[in-house]
Structure formats: C-alpha cells, structure tokens
A and B are shown apart, each in its own frame.
Chain A
Amino acid sequence: MEFFKYTRTFNFMGKSKIALLISIVLVLGSYVLLATKGLNYGVDFAGGTIVQVKYDTDAPIDAMRDKLKGNPIFEGASITEFGSPDEVVIRMKTTTGDVTVDVGDVTREALKGTGNYEIRRVDIVGPKVGSELKEKGIMSLVLAILGILIYVAFRFEWRFAVASIIALVHDVSIALGAITLVGLDVNLDVLAALLTILGYSLNDTIIVFDRIREGVSQSKKTDLEEIINESVTRTLARTTLTSLTTFFVVFTLFMFGGEIIHAFAFTLLVGVVVGTYSSIFVASPVLLWFGFDVKNYRNKLAQKAKREAEKAKMRAQFESGVM
C-alpha cells in the first residue's frame, strides 16, 4: 500500500502564507483564551484537595452538597461527575496539615448517610508543595526547550534550532489554548503530556530537517524553497504514517484509558495533530524566512570537507614520516 508516490513534488512552501495565517490565528487565539479564561490549575499546582467517591448507585450529588454545606472546610467545594454517574470528584481549595485527621477523613464522615460509598482517592496538596511543583514544572519546560535548542544548534545550524523552537512554542501554545478551551484541570500529567509533545513534535521536525539538510548538500537544486518542497514531499509518507500510528494509540488511550488519564490523553491528541502540522508548515517556512543561504552553507560544507581532507593528509604524511 502507498499513500504518496514520489513522482511529483508538492508545493508546500507556496501554501506557507495561508499556513502562517492559520498559525497566527490559532496561537493568538490561544493566548487570548489564556489571558481571559486562564488556565485551570488543578490541585497539583494550585494546592487543594480532591476526594474521589464511588457509590454503588448513581451518586446523590444534591444530597452530598447538602451534607457538605455548613462546614467551612468545604467552602467553595465543587462536586462533579467523574467518568460515570456513580463516581464523583469533590474538589476543594482547602487543605489541612493534620496527619491523623485530614480533609479526606472529614469528608468521609460528612458524607455519612448519603448511601453506600467508597472513598477511592484522596489527593491533598499543601500550598507550599503546589507552588514548588509549579516552579519545577515551568523549569522543566524551559530546560527541555533549552537542551533541545543546544542539541539541534550543534547538530544542524542555529537557524534550524531557532526554527524548531518556534515550532515547539507554537505547538505548546496551541495545546495550552485547547486545554483552556475545554477547561481541563492542569495537573502534573498535563505537564508530562506537554513535555511529550515537545519531544514528539521535535521528532517530526527533525526528520524533515534531516531531509532538508541532506537536500541542501546533495540536491542539484539551489533554491531553498524547492529543496524544502522536495524534502517535505519525500518525508510526507513517513510523517503521515507515524502520526497515524501515534494518533491511533493516543486515541485508544483517550477513549479507553479511563477518566484519570483523560486530560493527559487529550493534551497528547492535540499535540500529535498540531505537531505534525507544525513540522511541515511552521518549522520549514521559518527556515526560509530566516534567509538560510544554500550556497553559503554548501561553501561552508566544502571548506569543512577541505579542512578535514587536509588534516587527514597531514596526518597521513606525519604518520608515514614517523614510520
């Protein structure tokens, strides 16, 4: 089976203006969402308590609300269905420091008389831990991006590195926008998903860049736009296939992975789609706009090869001289 044949080259860069427009709209839209609606930090980052309760019938949410009313510890607590009608999650901003009697225990007591239930999960994150996790989270994103930047700059060229980082920021921004749009709780798992998107999207970008690098040094063409079109076309089958297989598994994770992994899977799902798009329509055009000079690069390569050859020659002479 074949999706794409290499008989003709698609003119991707010709569409880059439209793509630019789409990207700008999506990214700006995401920032507007982030600024107005804002990220919905979950307990991991904001601190607070989550109690997951499973009833053996449908959860009596109204009766639960009644029971929780009055106790200041439950002020502003929200009760929402979690995956199925018999399971609910109670979210509150309060935490307690007592080891023996914590918010979970208070909730257990308070819910008495609402039916047969089981407390399946209690997450308590104190405010100090929450802000620490947030700091660490932001640090990890920044460090990951920096590490990647350095590696790509070292393996390719600085323009490639900057282009791939722009693509990454593009992907993460849109993923964050999507998370804000559907109002997902941002917890550690979402951060892990964002970091995975970084890795995945970069993966895609690098495969394309590798082809462009190859094209620049081997192709007969000298026009960068044509080389990019050729390279993107040649990697198109691979890009589509890998995106598809990854999409398959992330989609099954999203559908069947259970409520707990929902936010993680959703973030990845968005990331896979956006990441694939950005490696073709964001990273490559940026190379073009940054004025990557094919002839210049070839000259450099030729000089480098010449230097290496001279070095090898010197070494050979030196060695034979010694021997």
Chain B
Amino acid sequence: MKLNYRIAVFALAIVFGLFFSFPSLLQTESGKKVTLGLDLQGGLHMLLGVKTDEATKSRIKSIAASIKNFSDRKDILIDDLTFDDSSVSFSVLDIDDVKTIEEYLKSLEGVKLVIDGENVSLALTEEEILKTKKQAVDQAIETIRNRLDQFGLAEPVVARQGDEKILVQLAGIKTQEEEQRARELISRAAKLELMAVDEERAARVYNMSDADAAAYGDVILEDSKNPQIKYLVHEIPILDGGMLTNATVGFDQNNRPVINFTLNAEGAEIFGDFTGRSVGKRLAIVLDGKVYSAPNINERIGGGSGQISGDYTVVEAKDLAIALRSGALLAPIYLMEKRSVGPSLGADSIKASMVALIGGFVLVILFMMLYYRMAGVIANIALIANLFIILAVMSLFGATLTLPGMAGIVLTVGMAVDANVIISERIRELIYEGRSIHKAIEEGYSNAMRAILDANITTLIAAVVLYAYGTGAIKGFAITISIGILASMLTAILGTHGIYQMLENKIQKSNNNRFWFGIKG
C-alpha cells in the first residue's frame, strides 16, 4: 500500500461529493439543495407574448387625455379632439391660443407636431414607438414580478426571453385553483380609469351604437356586475391608474370587501378640479373597461382617495389590490406556450425514473463485478463516487433536476463505466503481452487516455450545443450529462488510477490475475 496524489485527490472528491449531496439526499433544513424541475415537482411554465401595439395606442390615448386636461386648466377651447392608433388631432377655436398649446405640446417627448392654422395634429416618432414597445415589455416583466412577489409563492421566475417574450415559471403550485388565481393575477390588465359620464346623452345610451358614441367622443361601457346596464362616458379619461399610489382592501358599511385607493398629488389635483366642476354629474370608476360604479358627485372631492366597490370575494379583492398596486400592464399579454404539470404526475415521474436509475445501476454494477472481478469493483467505486459528485455539483450551483436530467444521470451510469472498460481492456492486453503489473497499469492508462479524452470531448460538444439550443427540461439533460462526463474524468480516470497505484505491489505479489482482472494466469 502506498499513498499517491491521485488517491488523495480522489478521496477529497468523494468527501466533497458526500458532503454536498447530503442536503439534497436527506432533505435537510439547511444547506444547498438540488432544485427539482417543474416537471418533477409540479408547477406552471408559461411563455407570454406582449401585444406591444396596444402600448403605443394607450400612449396616444394618454397624450390625448393630457391635452384635454391642459386645455381645461388653461380655459382654452378645443374641438374635434380625436385619436387613432398613432396620432392625435384637434382644432383650437381661438387662434391666439395656438401658441400656448404649441408650447405645451413641444414639452412632450417623442412626438412630431404639425400645426396648420388652428388645426393641430401630432404623432409618435419612430424611435418613440420602438421605445414605447420596449418599455411595455420591461414594464410588463416588472409588473408581473411585483404581482407574483406579493402572491406568496416561493421563488417565482419572471424573465425576458427574446425581444417581446416573458418567461414565467411557478414551482410549487399545488392545486388547479391556485394555478387559476396566479394566471388571473398575471394577466389582469388592472387598468383603472376615472371617466366622466356624458350626462347630456346618457339617457340615449341604449339606442346608440359604438359608432354613434364615437361621433361624440364617447364610448359605451358595460357594468361589471350586470352587462345589461350600459354607461355612456367620455372616451378620454379624467385620470388613470398611473397616478395611483396605493390600493388596499377595506370593507364597506355592509361589510363587503371594497378596494380603497389613493392618488398622488397630481392625480388628487386633477380629481379635485374635476369634481369641483362636475357637481351633480356622475363619475364612472372603470377597471379594465368595465364600470364598477358610477356615483353622483355631490361636492368637490379633495384629498385624492376613492373606493372601488364590486361584487367580489375577499380573495378576489386582495388579488385585485395587488394588481392595482403593482401597476397596470401597459400592453395586454397573451399565452404563447404553457406547460403545467400536476404534483401527482411529478411524483410518478420521480418514482419511475428512480426505478430506472436504481435498476440500471444495479445491473451495471453486477455486470462489471462479474466480468472484471476486482477491476470491476474498482470501477464501481468510481461510478458510485461519480453519482455523488454529480448530485453535489448540482446542489452547489443550485442546478435544476428535470426528468430528462434524470435520464441523463441514468445514461451517465452506462457511459461512465466506458472509461474503465477501455482502461481494463488495455491492462488485460498488456498483461497478456507479458508486461509487469506496474508497466501494464501505467501503459494501460496512458494508452487509454487519448481515446477517452477524444470520446468525452465530442460528447461534451453535443451536450453544450444541447444546452445552448435546448429549452427548459432539455437543458437539464445537457447539464447532468456534462457534469457526469467531467466528473467521470476525475473518478474513472484519476481515481481508479490512484487505487491501482496504491494496490500495485499487492496485485504483483498475489500473482492472481483472475481475482484482480478477471483473466487467466
């Protein structure tokens, strides 16, 4: 028995493997553990697209609203304020006021202004449209992240993918109801608008078409509880949820949940001015295009706070408050890809792949022992160490173990012994040629090394490509395969070499090649 650096490194690797794989194996409280992929623990994976065109539309709409606010405040009379997908136009009644309006419009960023006498029109510039679209995606990511953080799931993943896609991964969703809630929370636009009811024409709302309403600069909106009830409101809102500072769940006098919201200073001022001007008229509180309530304005309302009452449960009210607080989605999102796995299926998959792993493992170990005797046992030690090291490295880096990842580990078991098969065959050959044990071992390793390296590197190339181009679960396969290959270089090549060097004299003395290498002589 003699110690050498190889055996020392191998021993260290085993200690490393055991130490860092323990938290995952025994599921201890502390320590870094392997994360199970959504396909194994159950969960929701979604790829969401952002309808960025809608963002430019709403940008235009809010410019129109700000023009209306400005002209109201400055007592400038404007007419024919209309807007389409990318431009706003209106005319100023008193031509002397054009200058004031022009100055204001010039302070807006990213617009092209065309003034022709009393007719004014403005459109977004190309860069502004791109910027708005990009912002819409950024804002959607931010908003969804905020909402999910408050939802109370452990470690939600919200990430940008490509230019206009958002990846959302929610592990640990246990029930259908929970998934439904999460999806509603994510996709809710949560666009709050305070809109003025067009009292002059409100009585005719049931006889109007959308086009009729548009001709007056109005829209027809449905009641949130009863779609039969309709309201005619001015299309350009008084203010929107962007001026909201807080939203909380409260209860009204009948002990039904309501949402109390507070506006920022600017919003409070606009709100105060408007209510002051509109006593006796109605104010529609509109959320996502539905009217939640339309109370009469009895007096000027200062302080900038309001209430949304609706027919919802406490849980719904809570989710709605979260959505309002985290801000509206500038652009609606849509589903591009969804993968949802129930926890019971995940558990079944773990069970099945464990059976395969253990079954394959036992077969390989028995076969190696039978065929190579002690050389097989040595290879098996390396194989077991390899498994622990894979688990340890994955735990350390917090890598995700997916079902294809499990398959990767199973496959590694089959392929990791390959190195030892090559080495053992070489050693056998050299013993047959009459070399001493020492020579046979050293030459066997050096001869086998080239082939093993070349073979492993090519497999690694395939694994790296798989990692770069694969998605989700498939990446997990590439990870386990890669770690397995790298670990096998340490265990199957360096580790077993160390063991042979340690036992060399013993093998030489025993002169029993059948026992050590499974061959005659």
Contacts and interface: CB of A to CB of B under 8 A. Distances in A.
B364 A140 contact: no
Contact of B414 (A2, A119, A248): A248
Contacts of B429: 6, 234
B368 A245 contact: yes
B136 to A, nearest CB: 16
B470 A246 contact: no
B436 to A, nearest CB: 19
Given A143-B465, A147-B465, A264-B407, A120 B363 contact: no
A182 interface: no
B283 to A, nearest CB: 28
Nearest to A51: B340
Interface in B382-434: 403-404, 407, 410-411, 413-415, 417-418, 421-422, 425, 428-429, 432
B74 interface: no
Nearest to A5: B432
Q: How large is the interface on B (under 10, 10 to 19, 20 to 34, 35 or more residues)?
A: 35 or more
Most buried by A among B48, B335, B464: B335
B337 A252 contact: no
Nearest to B461: A147
Judged by DSSP, the binding face of A is: helix
A86 to B, nearest CB: 12
B367 A249 contact: no
B359 A256 contact: yes
Contact of A199 (B49, B187, B462): B462
Given A6-B429, A148-B458, A192-B477, A261 B407 contact: yes
A108 to B, nearest CB: 8
B451 interface: yes
B179 to A, nearest CB: 9
A104 B340 contact: yes
B416 to A, nearest CB: 9
Nearest to A187: B474
B353 interface: yes
Contact of A249 (B336, B340, B410, B519): B410
Nearest to A7: B432
Given A2-B519, A253-B410, A258 B352 contact: yes
A73 B180 CA distance: 20
A246 B465 contact: no
Interface stretch (B29-37, B234-242, B306-314, B341-349): B341-349
A125 B337 contact: yes
Judged by DSSP, the binding face of B is: helix
Nearest to A241: B421
Interface residues of A, number: 79
B295 interface: no
Interface in A195-254: 195-196, 198-200, 202-203, 206-207, 210-211, 214, 234-235, 237-238, 241-242, 244-253
Contacts of B518: 1-2
A188 interface: yes
A137 interface: yes
A146 to B, nearest CB: 9
Contact of B349 (A136, A214, A246, A260): A260
A108 B353 CA distance: 28
A151 B459 contact: no
A71 interface: no
B216 interface: no
Interface in B327-359: 333-342, 344-345, 348-349, 352-353, 355-356, 359
B421 A238 contact: yes
A52 interface: yes
A133 interface: yes
A195 B465 contact: yes
20 contacts: A102-B338, A120-B341, A122-B339, A136-B469, A139-B469, A144-B461, A151-B457, A196-B481, A199-B459, A203-B458, A206-B455, A242-B422, A250-B410, A253-B356, A253-B360, A253-B407, A256-B359, A257-B353, A258-B353, A260-B352
Interface of B: 39, 46-49, 176, 180, 183-184, 186-187, 333-342, 344-345, 348-349, 352-353, 355-356, 359-361, 363-364, 367-368, 370-372, 403-404, 407, 410-411, 413-415, 417-418, 421-422, 425, 428-429, 432, 447, 450-451, 454-459, 461-466, 468-471, 473-474, 477-478, 481, 518-519
Closest 4 CB pairs of A and B: A249-B360, A258-B352, A99-B187, A246-B414
